Amino acid sequence: MDKRLRRILPRVQKPARYTGGEVNQILKDKSAVDVRLAFCFPDTYEIGMSNLGLSILYHTMNSLPFVWCERCFAPWGDMYAEMKREGVPLYALESGDPLSEFDALAFSIGYEMAYTTVLDMLDMAGLPLRSAERTDLLPLVFAGGTAAVNAEPMAPFIDLFVVGEGEEMNNELLTLLREAKLGGWSKHDFLVRAAQIGGVYVPSLYDVAYNADGTLASVTPLDGAPERVTKRIIEDLDSVPYPTKPIVPSTEVVHDRVSLELFRGCVRGCRFCQAGYVYRPIRAKKPETLIAQGIETLKNTGYQDVTLLSLSTSDYRPLPGLCDGLLDYCEPRSIGLSLPSLRADNFSIELMEKLQKVRKSGLTFAVEGGSQRLRDAINKNVTEEDLLSTCRIAFAGGWNSVKLYYMLGLPTETDEDIVGIAKMADEVLHCWRLNAKNKNRGVKITISTSCFIPKPHSPFQWEAQISIEEYLRRVNLLRSSITARNVTYNWHDAETSLIEAVLSRGDRRVADAIERVWRDGGRLDAWTDYFSFERWMQAFADAGLDPAFYANRERSVDELLPWDVIDVGVRKAHLAREREKAYRSELSPDCRHQCAACGAARLLPGRKCDE
C-alpha cells in the first residue's frame, strides 16, 4: 500500500472501502496479461458494490485470460480532500495501481446525475476530460449503462459507448483492443474498427448539425460508421455466466445480500418507463438455474438475505416454485427472501405466506397515478380494487406497513387526480381498520411522489416536464388533501428532477454545462450533500443554454431527437402510437396476452419473447 494512503486512511470514514482485499476479489499477474482495465463506477463503494451488473461484468471480463479487470469507485468527500492534499491519484482496488497505468477505463453509468463524477474520476486519474484531447489509443475511455441510450451529453468526453447488455460485447471490444495495442494501431483506426462491432457507438464518427431554432438538423455517420447503432442483448440468460463467487464487501454496503436476476425486460409497457422499453425483449431464466445459482452463491458468501430482481418480479410465472426451491434451503438457515417490485394486481396469499416464512418486511407498490383514468393513460393496468384487495390480504396476514409511490406531472394529470392520491390513502387506512390482524401495532402508510421526467425511448419522450413552480403547487395540493395522521407524505425535490430531465434529453451542447459544473466543484451530484441547483443553473447560463429548451418543451413527433442514432429495438412509430393511446386513456395489453409488435422481437431471430 502507498505510504501516503497509510497516512490518509485513519483520517477518513469507512476506510475499508478504499483498501480492496475483499473475499473473492480477482487477482492476476499483471505481467501475464495484455490488457489492464479499470472498471469505474461513478459513485461510492457502497452503491457500486450493490450493483449486480457491475458484479456480472467484472467476472465476464476477467474470464478473458489476457485481461485483468479491476474496480474503482468515486471517493467520498473526506477521502477526496485527503487524496488531493497528498497528491494521490485515483487507483484500482485490486492492485493499488494508479488508473493512468491502465489500458482502458470503462465507466458504468446508470444515472444521469453521475456525469460530473465521471469527469472527476478522469481528472483524478490524470487524464484530459475530452476524447479529442486524448490523442493516443491508450488509455481508451468507454462507457455503458442505461445512460448510453442517449449518449450525446457525454459524447465529447467518452471515446465510445457500448449500448445494451455487455456480457458478450465488452469481451469482443477488449479482444479488438488487444489486437490494436499489440499491432500499434492509431486511436482513429481502432475506433473505426470498433464501430463495426454490434452495439458500439463512437461519437467522433458522427457529424452533428443544428437548425436555427436549436433543434437537431442532422446526424451524419463518417468512415463507415452505421447510420444507427442497434443495442446488444443476451438471447439466452441461462447460458450467461453468473458470479456465484461474487466479491464480498469488507464494509457495509447498500444491498448486503445475494441478488438473483429473474428476467430482463418487462411485459407491462408503462408509458412513462424508459427501462420497460430499452430492456426489451423479455428473456427469463429457468427457475432451476436460479435456485442452483442462489444456493451456490449463499454458500460462497455467507450472506443471510436473497432478493429476486427484475423490473416486475411478481410477473415471473414460475415464481411460486422458485420461492419453494429457495426456501427449502433458506428457511432452515434463517436466510431471508425478499421480492421487490411487486405489483398490486398479482399479489397473492400463497406468495405472502412464502415471504413471511423467514421474516416479514414492509410492502411497497408503485401505483403512479391517483385516478383510474390517469393510470389507464400511463398504461399502469392497476385498479384501486387491485390495491385494496392486496392490502386486505397483507393486513390480514400481519403486515402493518405499506409504501405507495406516485408521480406528479404525468401527461394529462389534473388536480382531481392529485386529490385522488389522498383519497386512496384514506381507503387503505380504512382497509387496515377492517382487516388488520393486530390493531395494537398501528399502521404506517407512506405516500411518496416524484416529478415525472420524460425519458428517451419511451412513449412520453416528446412530452414537456412541468415547471418547478407547478410541481410544488401540486405537492402542496396533495399535502393539504392528506388529513389522516397515520399517513406520511414524502416528495422528491423538483430541482434535481429538472436537471435530470435536461441531461436525459440533452444533446452534445449540454457537455459544456456538465464540464462547467465540474470545474466549479461539482461531483457526486446524485447525493443531496453535494448537489447544487444554483451551480447547475449558472453553468447552463455560462454555456448559453436554456434548461427549459430541453426539459419543459414539448417536441414534435417529427423532430429529429439526439438519441435517434441509437436503436433499442422498439420502433419510434410504436412509441408514437402508445402516446396517442395515452391521450385517449386507452390501455394496451401486456406482452404475454398480445404482442404489440413494438419491434423488439426482431432482436431475437427465430425466437419469441419469453413469457
**What residue type is 172 in one-letter code?**
E
Count of CB atoms within 10 A of residue 353's CB?
Answer: 12
Q: Measuring CA to CA, which residue among 364, 259, 344, 245 is closest to residue 301?
A: 245
Phi then psi for residue 29, to 5 deg, are -80, 110
* 435-450 pLDDT, tens digit each: 887 787 788 999 999 9
- The answer to whether residue 355 is domain-embedded is no
- The answer to whether residue 251 is domain-embedded is no
Q: Would you place residue 391 in the very low, low, confident or very high pLDDT band (cuts 50, 70, 90)? A: confident
Per-residue pLDDT at 315:
86
**What residue type is 220 in one-letter code?**
T
C-alpha cell at 216: 437537431
* 197 and 266 assigned to the same domain: no
Q: Measuring CA to CA, which residue among 308, 309, 365 is closest to residue 337?
A: 308
- The answer to whether residue 519 is domain-embedded is no
* 376 and 307 assigned to the same domain: no
- The answer to whether residue 556 is domain-embedded is no
Q: Measuring CA to CA, which residue among 295, 312, 313 is closest to residue 258?
A: 295
How far is it, in rounded angstroms, from Cα 165 to Cα 357?
35
The CATH number of the domain where 263 resides is what? 3.30.750
How far is it, in rounded angstroms, from Cα 41 to Cα 38?
10
* Pairing label, strands 487-491, 104-108: unpaired
Sheet holding 258-261, edge to edge: 258-261, 305-309, 336-338
- The answer to whether residue 392 is domain-embedded is yes
Q: How many residues comprise the chain?
A: 611
How far is it, in rounded angstroms, from Cα 315 to Cα 318?
9
Are 264 and 283 in contact by the 8 Å Cβ rule? The answer is: yes
* Pairing label, strands 216-221, 206-210: antiparallel
- The answer to whether residue 281 is domain-embedded is yes
* 219 and 280 assigned to the same domain: no
Residue with cell 429548451: 549
* 32 and 154 assigned to the same domain: yes
Which pTM value belongs to this model?
0.95
Lowest mean pLDDT among 15-24, 114-123, 553-562, 591-600: 591-600
Are 439 and 433 in contact by the 8 Å Cβ rule? The answer is: yes
- The answer to whether residue 247 is domain-embedded is no
C-alpha cell at 448: 411518496
How far is it, in rounded angstroms, from Cα 154 to Cα 506?
9
* 485 and 593 assigned to the same domain: no
Lowest mean pLDDT among 208-217, 262-271, 394-403: 394-403
How far is it, in rounded angstroms, from Cα 102 to Cα 92?
9
Alpha-carbon Rg for the chain, nearest whole angstrom, is 24
- N-to-C CA span, the chain: 51
What percentage of the chain reaches a pLDDT higher than 90? 82
pLDDT above 80: residue 606: no
The residues, any chain, with a CB within 8 Å of residue 50's CB and separated by 6 or more, are: 253, 254, 255, 256
Please give the biggest Cα pair distance in the chain: 75
Once rounded to an integer, what is the mean pLDDT over residues 266-275? Answer: 92
Per-residue pLDDT at 357:
59
Domain closes at, from 230, 246, 281:
230
* 313 and 385 assigned to the same domain: no
**In angstroms, how far is CA 78 from the centroid of its own chain?**
26
* 318 and 467 assigned to the same domain: no
- Any idea of the CA torsion for 605, 262, 285, 601, to the nearest 10 degrees? -10
For 272, 455, 588, the CA distances from 375, given in Å and listed in that order, are 11, 18, 12
Once rounded to an integer, what is the mean pLDDT over residues 12-17? Answer: 95
Are 86 and 79 in contact by the 8 Å Cβ rule? The answer is: no
E strand or H helix at 253: none
How far is it, in rounded angstroms, from Cα 149 to Cα 132?
22
Domain closes at, from 196, 230, 264:
230
Q: Measuring CA to CA, which residue among 386, 55, 422 is closest to residue 246?
A: 55
Once rounded to an integer, what is the mean pLDDT over residues 551-573? Answer: 97
- The answer to whether residue 573 is domain-embedded is no
Q: Helix (H) and strand (E) counts for the chain? A: 20, 19
Q: Would you place residue 352 in the very low, low, confident or very high pLDDT band (cuts 50, 70, 90)? A: low
* 180 and 110 assigned to the same domain: yes
Q: Would you place residue 611 in the very low, low, confident or very high pLDDT band (cuts 50, 70, 90)? A: very low
Phi then psi for residue 257, to 5 deg, are -170, 170
Once rounded to an integer, what is the mean pLDDT over residues 464-486? Answer: 96
SS3 343: coil
Phi then psi for residue 150, to 5 deg, are -135, 90
* 321 and 451 assigned to the same domain: no
How far is it, in rounded angstroms, from Cα 287 to Cα 257?
19
How far is it, in rounded angstroms, from Cα 321 to Cα 301?
24
Once rounded to an integer, what is the mean pLDDT over residues 163-168? Answer: 96
Count of CB atoms within 10 A of residue 434's CB?
Answer: 9
Parent domain of 296: 256-339+583-611
pLDDT above 90: residue 2: no
**What residue type is 128 in one-letter code?**
P
* 482-535 pLDDT, tens digit each: 998 889 999 999 999 999 999 999 999 999 999 999 999 999 999 999 999 999
How far is it, in rounded angstroms, from Cα 573 to Cα 131?
34
SS3 88: coil
* 142 and 276 assigned to the same domain: no
pLDDT above 70: residue 337: yes
Once rounded to an integer, what is the mean pLDDT over residues 111-121? Answer: 97
**pLDDT averaged over every residue in the chain:** 93
Domain closes at, from 428, 460, 492:
492
* 152 and 293 assigned to the same domain: no
What percentage of the chain reaches a pLDDT higher than 70? 95
Sign of the Cα torsion 181, 182, 186, 191 reads negative
* 487 and 403 assigned to the same domain: yes
The CATH number of the domain where 160 resides is what? 3.40.50.280
Number of domains the chain contains: 3
